[in-house]
Structure 1
Amino acid sequence: MKKYSFCISLIICLLVGNVSVSLNKKENKKRIEFQLNSLFKDHMVLQRDMPIPIWGKAEAGTTVTVKFANSEKSTVVDSNGKWRVNLDALNANFESRTMLITSSINKDVIKISDIVVGDVWICSGQSNMQMGVGGVPEIKALIPTSSNIRSFKVKNTVAFQPQETCDGEWVNEHPNSAVAFSFAYFLQKSANVPVGIILTSWGSSSIEAWMPREMTKTVPHFKTMMDEFDADTNTKNRIKTILEGVKPWARKDDIFLRRQSNILYNAMMHPLIPYACSGLVWYQGERNTQSMHGMPKKPWFSRNSGMLKYGETLKEWVKNYRKSWNNDDMHFMVVMLPGYGKILDSGTDINLESPDSHSWAWMRESQLKVLELPNTSVVNTIDLGHVKNIHPKDKLPIGKRLASLAMNAVLKSGTESYGPIFKKIKTKKNTLVIYFDHAKELKTKDGKAPKAFWLSDDSKKWFPADAKIKGKTIILSTSGLEKPLYVRYAFTGKPTVNLVNGVDLPAYPFRTDTFKP
């Protein structure tokens, strides 16, 4: 009997022990380390003049308190282990200050040092945004006189699911991007506040690479792309193998990753939401110029919007990001693609000088559609670029124009930041009169007649126009047509232009016809 009692007691002890071990395992599994989102680190810049979200993870039920400047906010961590507070809006401040974040469990304290308050901008896109400062001597020369610029570089990687954190550090120096640095430089000098740049860019990436999966509901071709991706086991396995393999990646693997859809967004943009910022600078589009109508069967990496669908896709992208950040005032500044001589062989006309060829002119028209949304700007680069180099070095004017647009559109400086923009057209006998906005002191840079105007009628044949400036208008005529009806301006891959306003900003390209390409 004693033998049986001993066995029963032993079994009970083992069972109780197993239950205890099992409970401990569950407790360990549920335990969440007290932490902040990866953007909240020493040397960071906080956005001025708007509520500042601070968020992270901790044990459910924990009270978290955030103290910074004169603002103190507390919250209780939810059942998913997530917490967030919104600090009160702050004025710009160059003073280096410290933030304290405390947890009610174990009295844990996280301290973030050397924080300033100013203007924060996200700079994103592909290789022309990524191009380094060292490759542009005029911008490199700005370094000795730059100050109060800080940057956070998001590590280039991908993920199958949206990530909550990313790799990167705030540094007390300029970003290594010619466009982002020159923009920050001139913005800082004009606004006289600290400037923070969050740089998240990757060469060869399409706009679809930076789109969340939920956009399959609003962008039909993106749904097709994601359905294809989900069914492509080989691609997914290759991505997984690359991510788990030796680093740094081989060049072919690096290119393979960055040319995918959605997975750049998951790893390099989603972790930034909802960090308070003035807006986002977007220099991208080259990848989407590989076709007119989009979604060619081959090569696989050309399956994207193409040039004609890009405009509507871009607008949906902006609206989605604003919804994610819960900020309808979030400003988007798009860098227009500059001059480049490539002509697609999809058109009947492959003449570089023709306004009817399938050139980057159609992408620029698509990019300008973003202006149909409020709180958007487009940097005009029609006078820049290189006919044979897709990575032109004339980035300094882009930085200046971005800063001017930001000062005007976001900071309400009242300075002129746009070149002449087409307003309306009138017919007078055998001439056409073009009216512009932003046309004060309309002139040409070289004192010669305005260039790059073309005229047509319903025949769809285009003839170079004779152009004359009259006040804020341009008078157009041509010997090739008795009654011209339509105008195209600077509507070629690499047009030669000279029309500017009083502050030497170039006129924006446009067309008045509705001919289908």
Structure 2
Amino acid sequence: MKTAEKILILFFLVFSSTNLFYAGSIRTHNLFGDNMVFQQGSELLVWGWGEPGKNIKINFHNQTKSTSVNFNGEWQVKLKSENYGGPYELKIICGDTLLFKNVMVGEVWLCSGQSNMTMPLGGWGRVLNYNEEINNADYSNIRLATIPLTLAESPRKNVDVDGWYECSPQTVENFSAVAYFFARELFAKYNIPIGIIHVSKGGTPAESWMSEKALNDFPEFAEDIQFVKNGSSAEFVKMEMIYKQNFNDWLDTIYNYDAGYSPGSEWYKLNTDYKSWKKMLIPDVWENAGLKDYDGVVWFNRTIEIPDDWIDQQLILCLSSVQDYDITYFNGQKVGEQKKSNYLSEYSIPKGFVRNGNNSITVRVLDQYGNGGLWGRPEEMYMKNEKGEMISITGEWNYKPSVEFSKINKLPPERLLLDRKPTILFNGMIYPLIGFSFKGVIWYQGESNAERAAQYRDLFPALIKDWRVNMSLGDFPFMFVQLANYNAKAELPEESSWAELREAQSMALNLPNTAMAVTIDIGNNVDVHPINKQEIGKRLALLAMSKIFGENIVCSGPVYKSMEIFGDKIVIEFDSTGSDLMIKGNEKLLGFIIAGEDKKFYNAQALLDKNSVVVSSINVPNPVAVRYAWASNPECNLYNTGGLPAAPFRSDNWPGVTSNKNK
């Protein structure tokens, strides 16, 4: 189903008078349902809407409460807090009975952010060992609920929910990987029912998730807030549908300009002279092969020799992920296309397409913006026969650009990015959750604010305060993931918006009941989405176990405490959070840079001295500042003996590359 159509259907589900959960003349908020989890130790609020004056009785576990629908058509009851347990039934009686079964009481977590929180175990995410993880995800007392994308011009009282699901191999594949692995760690430790409410959207900045009131302190958002207020959910749906149609029309137009489809000399045909094409190693993005800032279409080809005993079998061709879209041919015949970026491009090759000896694979790749190409995971690039035997198709491929959008003045339609407007997701997806009790929040976001990192110093704490004020649950735990390493590695010290964003994230630790999971060792240079979501979930869970549940464990890596200058050396002290410092994977301690009064940084020699680090450089006789892991994708290897990495830091407060950016 097309995205715009999904949003349109969602609009009618949320804002029509019919509710999925109703009995006679009453209905409940959509988050109430079979398999749901209530937060233990907190007052349980049950509410909904109905015909004014109707009497309602609520039964749950050993409690019974009565109420009536008020003149505004609203009703609610407050039940006493419960200890963890279940399964129970929640009955709402008003003539007819609305019955919710298999309800548990345990720990409920709200999990939010952008695409790294959205990233599922399978699907486009495909986390580390994803097939094994999905097959083993049999935890009936971990319950999963996802709030779908909902754009709203003003705060909504209700939101669509696809239901609560018991965690199983059938339900977990498309669920948030970070949220699942976090829940799995807690469940394994405490054997208490865990409820996960997943509310995220890829590419979204923090301001999309904040209320208008909270953003009043940020006048730079005033114009966009007014745009949202002047719109309507129906208008947003219509705008998305028009954009989708314009985009499809643009894609059709590009075919007419593509030299690879020139009549009589199509590049997918076997008589094409591929030897004249340039070479590049696959997997990789084409920007690394010399096509810098190239947005357009590039054709790829390679020849592969098929064993004789494979000829009469149906084969599988897997290209891993293609950025953005591909059309794939085998021996001149089209075998498939993928129009979803990051999803697996995997195609069946009929028996009749396979030849003795050499066979030709040709892939047309279209990239709208950013990196493009056959850039996926090496282990996912193969030919496979019916017995499961595989031949790798990584290595040297031929490639040839066919059309660059800027040169034909045919750029893709400007993306609407409505979900990135301030307040629009808070209104549609966060505000409707007010009333539900939960233990705390885990948050994975920041990539879309990196170019405004200095602003994020104030924006992120304001978001945390905003949610706490609106939820009326006190200073509930708010744990977040610091951005992982990403992008090309720099050999020499340089300024970095991502380093500044990580620093801005760490400043939110000044708020009470907050904690940060450091992931500077989990990312990579190509994909902004680390696949080792298991470790990220584990590090968040360690924070929860220590700071919320009182476990005496090491939950954090070394954290910068202070520095002292001794001549040409700087001695750095750390809060090691319960264990000693160590160097991981290298005899040399990497990642430290120092500067003098001229503010010019140089790579430093760094030595461990018990629980201190001593740094120096022959280029800096009089150092005044030190930084660690200060790059988008730094080489760094300082850990504690608990196996957790040191947090990036700097001792100076000199203006950075994002100092004057707020839009």
Q: Are positions 1:162 and 2:155 aligned together?
A: yes
Please report how far the alpha carbon of residue 131 of structure 1 lies from its aligned counterpart in structure 2 after TM superposition: 1.3
Please report how far the alpha carbon of residue 341 of structure 1 lies from its aligned counterpart in structure 2 after TM superposition: 1.9
C-alpha separation between the residues in 2 aligned to 1:496 and 1:54? Answer: 51
Structure 1 residues 247-262: aligned runs within 5 Å: 256-262=417-423
- The 8 Å contact of residues 206 and 284 in structure 1, kept in 2 or not, is answered as yes
C-alpha separation between the residues in 1 aligned to 2:642 and 2:244? Answer: 49
In structure 2, runs of 5+ residues without a counterpart are 1-23, 249-339, 341-412, 657-663
Aligned match of 2:45: 53
Aligned match of 1:69: 61
C-alpha separation between the residues in 2 aligned to 1:112 and 1:386? Answer: 45
Aligned match of 2:465: 319
- The 8 Å contact of residues 204 and 448 in structure 2, kept in 1 or not, is answered as yes
- The 8 Å contact of residues 107 and 192 in structure 2, kept in 1 or not, is answered as yes
Aligned match of 1:121: 109
Please report how far the alpha carbon of residue 139 of structure 1 lies from its aligned counterpart in structure 2 after TM superposition: 4.7
C-alpha separation between the residues in 2 aligned to 1:253 and 1:442? Answer: 49
Aligned match of 1:186: 185
C-alpha separation between the residues in 2 aligned to 1:253 and 1:483? Answer: 51
- The 8 Å contact of residues 139 and 178 in structure 1, kept in 2 or not, is answered as no
Q: Are positions 1:413 and 2:410 aligned together?
A: no
Aligned match of 1:303: none
Aligned match of 2:475: 329
Distance change (3 Å), C-alpha of 1:230 and 1:78: closer
Q: Which moved more, 1:108-117 or 1:375-384?
A: 108-117
Distance change (3 Å), C-alpha of 1:241 and 1:406: same
Listed one character per residue, the Cα deviations across residues 81-112 of structure 1 (whole Å, up to 9, x for unaligned) are 2222232221111x311011234xxx343211
Distance change (3 Å), C-alpha of 1:150 and 1:379: same
C-alpha separation between the residues in 2 aligned to 1:211 and 1:269? Answer: 9
SS of the residue corresponding to residue 425 of structure 1 reads strand
Listed one character per residue, the Cα deviations across residues 244-273 of structure 1 (whole Å, up to 9, x for unaligned) are 889999898996333333222222222111
TM-score (norm 2): 0.65
User: Does 1 or 2 have the higher relative contact order (CA < 8 Å, sep 6+)?
Assistant: 2
Aligned match of 1:366: 504
Q: Which one of the candidate residues 539, 549, 563 is aligned to 1:425?
A: 563
Aligned match of 2:226: 227
- Identical pairs, percent: 33
Distance change (3 Å), C-alpha of 1:467 and 1:262: same
C-alpha separation between the residues in 2 aligned to 1:337 and 1:81? Answer: 45
- The 8 Å contact of residues 353 and 495 in structure 1, kept in 2 or not, is answered as no
Q: Are positions 1:273 and 2:434 aligned together?
A: yes
Structure 1 residues 4-403: aligned runs within 5 Å: 33-93=25-85, 95-103=86-94, 107-134=95-122, 135-143=126-134, 144=136, 146-147=138-139, 148-168=141-161, 169-173=163-167, 174=172, 176-227=175-226, 229-230=228-229, 239-242=236-239, 256-289=417-450, 291=451, 306-341=452-487, 352-403=490-541
- The 8 Å contact of residues 128 and 532 in structure 2, kept in 1 or not, is answered as no
Aligned match of 1:23: none
Q: Which moved more, 1:437-446 or 1:450-459?
A: 437-446
- The 8 Å contact of residues 496 and 630 in structure 2, kept in 1 or not, is answered as no
TM-align CA RMSD: 2.7
C-alpha separation between the residues in 1 aligned to 2:90 and 2:472? Answer: 24
C-alpha separation between the residues in 2 aligned to 1:413 and 1:204? Answer: 35
Aligned residue pairs, count: 457
Listed one character per residue, the Cα deviations across residues 321-345 of structure 1 (whole Å, up to 9, x for unaligned) are 1111101231111111111127xxx
Please report how far the alpha carbon of residue 320 of structure 1 lies from its aligned counterpart in structure 2 after TM superposition: 0.9
Listed one character per residue, the Cα deviations across residues 420-477 of structure 1 (whole Å, up to 9, x for unaligned) are 1111112233321111113522111125232101111221011112111122211122
SS of the residue corresponding to residue 427 of structure 1 reads strand
Distance change (3 Å), C-alpha of 1:171 and 1:242: farther
The amino acid that maps onto 2:63 is S
C-alpha separation between the residues in 2 aligned to 1:218 and 1:284? Answer: 21
Please report how far the alpha carbon of residue 230 of structure 1 lies from its aligned counterpart in structure 2 after TM superposition: 5.0
Q: Which moved more, 1:73-82 or 1:438-447?
A: 73-82
C-alpha separation between the residues in 2 aligned to 1:254 and 1:156? Answer: 17
SS of the residue corresponding to residue 561 of structure 2 reads strand
- The 8 Å contact of residues 242 and 253 in structure 1, kept in 2 or not, is answered as no
In structure 1, runs of 5+ residues without a counterpart are 1-31, 292-305, 343-350
SS of the residue corresponding to residue 195 of structure 2 reads strand
C-alpha separation between the residues in 2 aligned to 1:442 and 1:203? Answer: 36
C-alpha separation between the residues in 2 aligned to 1:513 and 1:245? Answer: 49
Q: Are positions 1:497 and 2:616 aligned together?
A: no
C-alpha separation between the residues in 1 aligned to 2:194 and 2:648? Answer: 31
C-alpha separation between the residues in 2 aligned to 1:86 and 1:411? Answer: 26
The amino acid that maps onto 1:471 is K
C-alpha separation between the residues in 1 aligned to 2:505 and 2:548? Answer: 20
Please report how far the alpha carbon of residue 502 of structure 1 lies from its aligned counterpart in structure 2 after TM superposition: 1.6
Comparing both structures, which one devotes a greater share of its residues to helix? 1
C-alpha separation between the residues in 1 aligned to 2:557 and 2:532? Answer: 18
SS of the residue corresponding to residue 497 of structure 2 reads coil
The amino acid that maps onto 1:326 is S
Q: Are positions 1:513 and 2:652 aligned together?
A: yes
SS of the residue corresponding to residue 160 of structure 1 reads coil
- The 8 Å contact of residues 499 and 507 in structure 1, kept in 2 or not, is answered as yes
Aligned match of 1:457: 596
C-alpha separation between the residues in 2 aligned to 1:266 and 1:415? Answer: 39
Comparing both structures, which one devotes a greater share of its residues to strand? 2
C-alpha separation between the residues in 1 aligned to 2:589 and 2:224? Answer: 44
C-alpha separation between the residues in 2 aligned to 1:246 and 1:97? Answer: 46
The amino acid that maps onto 2:431 is H
Please report how far the alpha carbon of residue 124 of structure 1 lies from its aligned counterpart in structure 2 after TM superposition: 1.3
SS of the residue corresponding to residue 269 of structure 1 reads helix
